[in-house]
Structure 1
Amino acid sequence: MKKLVSDFLRFINLNQGEEDRRKVLENVKSNISFSGSNLWILACAIVVASVGLNVNSTAVIIGAMLISPLMGPIVGAGFGLGVYDFYLLQKSLKNLMVATLVGLVVSTLYFYISPFKETQPELLSRTAPNIYDIIIAFSGGLVGAIAITRVEKGNPIPGVAIATALMPPLCTAGYGLAVGNYRFFFGAIYLYAINCVFICISTFFIVKYLKYPTKKQLTDKYQTKVKYIISTLITILILPSIFFAYQLFQEKKYQHAVDIYLEKEFSSKGIAILYKKTKFNQNPKKLELGFLSKKFTEKEIKALNEKLKAYEINNTKLLIMQDTTDLKSDILNEIKYNKSVLSEKDLAILNLKKQIEDNKYKNKALLAEIKILFPEIVNISIANHTYNEETDSVKTVPILIYKSTKVLEKESEKKLASWLEQRLSKKSIEIYSQK
């Protein structure tokens, strides 16, 4: 048993593959400064992230997270706290404050100037943090701290930048200021604070675990004070996030009950629902429905409201919209709200359809034409084949495999290839006989 424990501890030992500690600290210190090029890179990354949030483009937001230098001072603060280098800690926090203010100013200016002020889903998702965001920030911070202390840095660093997502909440806070929505501002700043603090704390734990030498020896009293401050900070950030996570769970549970209610009371009875909207945060909650053609009497609406409790949909009022003018207005607003999401999905579907069409050949029709020229061919299969996928010289070539009563001569194969190139408007085609 003792040997098993020893083997396991050796297996998870982080000292293997560790970079020289002086070099690690030098790298950390060099990345905390926000002046000159770092400040310009940050400002540009903020603009890129703001544009991504504004047009609801996940790819653009990820790009901004990858080029952002925000992780530097946060990791620096974690190292400063871990080795009790309070000058490094103070400098890191000062630079983080500068970076945060620059980020807020640039994003607020962008969203204030931007003609598009609609609240996109990418913005909404950064306004209500919960316990899962803490888990992501802490785990991502651990990965980042471990990667920084390795000789081989590998792929984790870009992944940490994406997972911990420092840029989007900071830009969302700027959006909240620009449009005067302070609920958005405080929600996004809270998420940003969660990410910063838990990356810093996870870095502190890794520094302590690896036993980096302390710059200043502290008495037990001061060490206890540092631990007390960290514990208090963790508690302050965790408690609201647990509440938000509970709210999210309740909302998902409520929505599931609503879906069952709608399926059993309407869809299964052939009543088509044209419009549906739930207002979970109101008191009482509201469930708004609009139907394609069905009209309900006051008695029927009352009966449907009474059935809500049977599905555990409590404190909810069912509102059936039967005024076509109001219903039309709400549907148009809903379509407008989801326009960017639908556009991206439609674009992705069109791209996939195009790829399928580009790689699709009418083998049956081609065989009928080929048989006129080469009667000995009894079957064919033609498809695109991609060469050199992992290089810069990728090329796609159609390949024809034919089955015949006798193998075509080289001259006949060349003639068939030339005919197919003309017929399919391709530069080159490869032909093989099925053995």
Structure 2
Amino acid sequence: MDARPFYSTLEFRDKILSDTKLEKRDLVILMCAIFIACIGLNLNNSVVLIGAMLISPLMLPIVGMGLGFSIYDFHLIKKSFRLLTTEIGISLLVSIVYFYLSPISLASAELIARTSPNIWDVMIAIAGGIAGVIGSRKKEANNIVPGVAIATALMPPICTVGYGIVYGNLQYIIGASYLFLLNAAFIMLVTFIGSHLMRHKNASIDLSQISSRMKIGFVSLFVLLTIPSIFSAGSLVLDYTQREAMSQFVTDQFPTHTVLSKIYHKKTNLLEVTIMGEELSQEEIEEITSNQKDFGLESLQVKINQVAASGVDDQKFYQYIEQYIDSKLMQNNTNNEQIQDEVEVVKD
């Protein structure tokens, strides 16, 4: 009896090869999973989303491609890639049909959250990939791989792309597609590195017989796949830092006022803040804007809209109050769209 708790590299390769066959039952499971995920996004229900990701089979071909690149196995790469593209195509088709027929056309907070990937998605994908490499190599049954599938959230972005296609929203299509690529690329990268570290010598896997040109080709292809994610991650860090700085600036400078809205116009680099409370004088406004440098926001333009509770008509007053309440409700319904005490970004 084999007492080893982990598959050897050859055993793991053979296991993935045997699993990369899209049989009818797997197709039904995939369609059910994507259908459940669409409902979860449509109804803004994170519990339903978790259920969909638990039965999602999308992790397997991504891990297979990462292992294939690690051992330079073109057959495994090709088979895993074919399975992944097939699963993505089927998932897109199901999501398009669902959102086309769904009577709920409003984008929920869960759905919007999949259109703006941030640096935390990169960190989750890396950590999830590490756990996935270890969990998928264990022979005994474990809950690591399903947990990774939930954490990295591969299925919801595909559903969001389907929503974007149905309603012709290019921003949703691009944002969600990139989130999926980001997660997949970093999971593959970690699988690639982890497989190298966990690999043991095996007579059936003789890397010395592989030409240097082929090795360079595989590595170059993988590097080209991950470079956009790495550069974007840096850009996301800067964007996230700027949002945090703007949010902190508003919080610190208006401690006695109610901030009704914070809108950042990215195209003009303008932060528009609407506040309610005691009216500020021009000198006070100038003093507030002069403090921007303390938050690293020297180049930012700030426009302050003041709404005095005693100086506004009832209709407009209640309109602002409704907007404020809506923003607070959205804070409680999402944890990934940067709505919590952050700035709404408008690209104009």
Given candidates 152, 174, 180, the residue that maps to 1:164 is 152
Confirm or deny: 8 A CA contact 1:129 1:241 kept in the other structure. Answer: no
Please state how far the C-alpha of 1:317 moved relative to its aligned partner.
1.0
**1:289-321 per-position Cα deviation (integer Å, ceiling 9, x unaligned):** 2426x566xxx3574255222244531111224
TM-score normalised according to structure 1 size: 0.66
The 8 Å contact of residues 69 and 222 in structure 2, kept in 1 or not, is answered as: no
Match of 1:250 in 2: 242
**Structure 1 residue 140: Cα displacement:** 1.4
Match among 258, 262, 280 for residue 273 of structure 1? 258
* SS in structure 2 at match of 1:317: strand
Higher relative contact order (CA 8 A, sep 6+): 2
CA distance in 2, matches of 1:33, 1:71: 14
Instruction: Output the aligned Cα RMSD.
Output: 2.8
- Larger deviation, residues 233-242 vs 280-289: 280-289
C-alpha change, 1:115 and 1:327, in structure 2 (3 Å) is farther
Residue type of the alignment partner of 1:204: F
Q: Which shifted more, 328-337 or 34-43? A: 328-337
Structure 1, gaps ≥5 residues long = 1-14, 345-435
State the shift of 1:187 in Å: 1.0
1:66 alignment partner AA:
L
- Alignment check: 8 A CA contact 1:120 1:337 kept: no
Contact 2:69 2:219 in 1 (8 A): no
- Give 1:70's aligned residue: 58
Deviation at 1:64, TM superposition (A): 0.9
User: Which whole-Å CA distance do the structure 1 matches of 2:239 and 2:165 have between them?
Assistant: 25
Counterpart among 308, 319, 328 of residue 318 in structure 2: 328
User: Which residue does the alignment assign to 2:305?
Assistant: 319
- Conserved? CA contact 1:68–1:167, under 8 Å: yes
Shift of the 274–81 alpha-carbon distance from structure 1 to 2, 3 Å rule, reads closer
Cα offset, 1:254, TM superposition: 1.2
Q: How far apart in 2 are the matches of 1:318 and 1:146?
A: 52
8 Å CA contact retained: 1:274, 1:291: yes
Contact 2:260 2:274 in 1 (8 A): yes
Question: Following the alignment from structure 1 to structure 2, what is the Cα–Cα distance between the partners of residues 336 and 291?
Answer: 16
- Percent identity between the aligned chains? 31
1:262 positional shift:
0.7
Q: Which residue type is aligned with residue 304 of structure 1?
A: I
Equivalent position amino acid for 1:245 in 2: V
Give, in whole Å, the separation in 1 of the partners of 2:206 and 2:24. 29
CA contact (8 A) 2:72 2:215 kept: no
String of CA shifts for 1:141-162, please: whole Å, max 9, x gaps. Answer: 2221222222234231121111
SS of the residue 2:305 aligns to: strand
Does the C-alpha gap of structure 1 residues 336 and 30 become closer, same or farther in structure 2, counting only changes over 3 Å? Answer: farther
Q: 1:76-126 CA distances to partner (integer Å, 9 max, x unpaired)?
A: 222222333212211211111111122122222222322323333222322
Asked if 1:214 is matched to 2:205, the reply is yes
Instruction: List aligned pairs for 1:226-305, cutoff 5 A.
Output: 226-263=218-255, 267=256, 272-273=257-258, 275-279=260-264, 281=266, 283-291=268-276, 294=278, 300=281, 303-304=284-285
Q: In 2 relative to 1, CA 331–239 (structure 1 residues): closer, same or farther, beyond 3 Å?
A: same
Distance verdict in 2 for CA 1:302–1:186, change over 3 Å = farther
The answer to whether the 8 Å contact 2:40/2:46 transfers is: yes
In 2, are the aligned partners of 1:31 and 1:73 still within 8 Å (CA)?
no
Code of the aligned partner of 2:205: T
Measured in 1, the distance between the counterparts of 2:269 and 2:78 equals 49
CA distance in structure 2 between the partners assigned to 1:104 and 1:124 by the alignment: 17
Partner of 1:308: 289
Report how far residue 186 of structure 1 moved: 0.6
Deviation at 1:201, TM superposition (A): 2.5
Deviation at 1:252, TM superposition (A): 0.6
Distance 2:181 2:64 in 1: 16
Q: Does the C-alpha gap of structure 1 residues 29 and 44 become closer, same or farther in structure 2, counting only changes over 3 Å?
A: same
CA contact under 8 A between 1:305 and 1:318: conserved in structure 2? no
Q: Which has the larger radius of gyration?
A: 1
Is 2:181 aligned against 1:193?
yes
| In 2: Cα distance, 1:93 partner to 1:184 partner | 24
> CA shift at 1:222, angstroms?
1.9
- Aligned match for 2:36, one of 30, 48, 51: 48
Partner residue in 1 for 2:73: 85
**Alpha-carbon separation, structure 1, partners of 2:83 and 2:139:** 27
Aligned 8 A contact 2:131 2:144 in 1? yes
The count of residues paired between Structure 1 and Structure 2 equals: 319
Find the aligned partners of 2:36 and 2:59 in 1 and give their Cα distance: 17
The separation in 2 between residues aligned to 1:338 and 1:317, in whole angstroms, is 22
Q: Which segment is superposed worse, 304-313 or 72-81? A: 304-313
2:128 to 115, 131, 140: 140
> TM-score by structure 2 length?
0.81
Q: CA deviation at 1:215?
A: 7.2
Rate the CA distance shift 1:180–1:305 in 2: closer, same or farther, 3 A.
Answer: farther
Q: Which amino acid aligns with 1:288?
A: V
The one-letter code matched in structure 2 to 1:168 is P
Alignment CA distance shift 1:306-1:241 (3 Å):
same
Q: Is residue 2:13 matched to residue 1:25?
A: yes
8 Å CA contact retained: 1:82, 1:214: no
The 10-residue stretch of structure 1 (84-93 or 130-139) with the greater mean CA deviation from structure 2: 130-139
Taking a change above 3 Å as real, the CA distance of residues 251 and 341 of structure 1, as seen in their structure-2 partners, is closer
